[in-house]
């Protein structure tokens, strides 16, 4: 759910504020008095997050695996709102698998894009698997053909499928 990362960001940043913005205090009051559920929408929380970001000179938000977010439109609105927040210096570093849907959604919002070669992580993972098969005292006793099968199976699924 998209609300959970927003809540997490608000909490992490609020803990570092010298003074809490009124919107965070109001959110806390509503939740404490059980008036919070109707207000826990992503647009409301984006507004609170923007208020919290204004308490800092610069805010750096790093988010991985955005392609796994099911609420694409909400995600795009969140990125756009934070990137265009008045008087805020929010810097976003976002990563995702390269899908056409993600490029279509985020392309217009990106100030820079870096493509990471897909083979490099697979090679690193394969090397790590090989080293573990050789160095683990329990596993290195297993037959070589079983090592090969384990390595092939793990590498075949390295992309998360």
CB-based contact 55:17 (threshold 8 Å): yes
Cα-Cα-Cα-Cα dihedral sign, residues 72, 51, 82, 97: negative
pLDDT at 4: 81
Residue ranges of alpha helices (H) inside 33-115 are 42-53, 72-83, 100-106
CB-based contact 81:50 (threshold 8 Å): yes
| Closest CA relative to residue 62, chosen from 9, 128, 136 | 9
Q: Among all chains, which residue has been given the structure tokens 């504020």?
A: 17
pLDDT of 104 higher than 80: no
pLDDT at 48: 86
Q: Is the pTM of this model over 0.85?
A: no
pLDDT tens profile 62-99: 887 777 777 667 777 777 777 776 666 888 787 777 77
pLDDT at 102: 73
Burial of 48 (0-12, 13-18, 19+ CB in 10 A): buried
pLDDT band at 120 (very low <50, low <70, confident <90, very high): low
Q: What angle do CA 37, 94, 54 make, to 5 degrees?
A: 60
pLDDT at 26: 85
How confident is the model over 5-13, as a mean pLDDT?
A: 88
pLDDT of 141 higher than 60: yes
pLDDT at 71: 66
Q: What is the mean pLDDT of the chain?
A: 79
pLDDT of 126 higher than 70: yes
- The single-letter DSSP state of residue 57 is S
Length of the chain (residues): 161
Q: Among all chains, which residue has been given the structure tokens 């092939």?
A: 152
CB-based contact 107:140 (threshold 8 Å): no
pLDDT of 2 higher than 80: no
Count CB atoms within 10 A of the CB of residue 147: 16
């Amino acid at each position: 759910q998209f609300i959970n990362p927003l809540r997490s960001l608000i909490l992490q940043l609020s803990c570092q504020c010298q003074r809490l913005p009124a919107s965070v205090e109001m959110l806390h009051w509503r939740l404490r008095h059980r008036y919070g559920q109707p207000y826990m929408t992503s647009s409301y929380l984006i507004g609170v997050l923007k208020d919290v970001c204004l308490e800092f000179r610069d805010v750096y938000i790093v988010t991985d695996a955005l392609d796994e977010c099911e609420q694409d439109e909400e995600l795009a609105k969140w990125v756009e709102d934070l990137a265009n927040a008045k008087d805020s210096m929010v810097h976003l570093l976002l990563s995702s698998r390269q899908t056409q849907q993600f490029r279509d959604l985020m392309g217009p919002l990106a100030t820079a894009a870096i493509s990471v070669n897909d083979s490099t992580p697979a090679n690193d993972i394969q090397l790590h698997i090989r080293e573990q098969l050789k160095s683990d005292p329990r596993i290195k006793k297993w037959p070589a053909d079983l090592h090969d099968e384990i390595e092939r199976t793990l590498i075949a699924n390295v992309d998360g499928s």
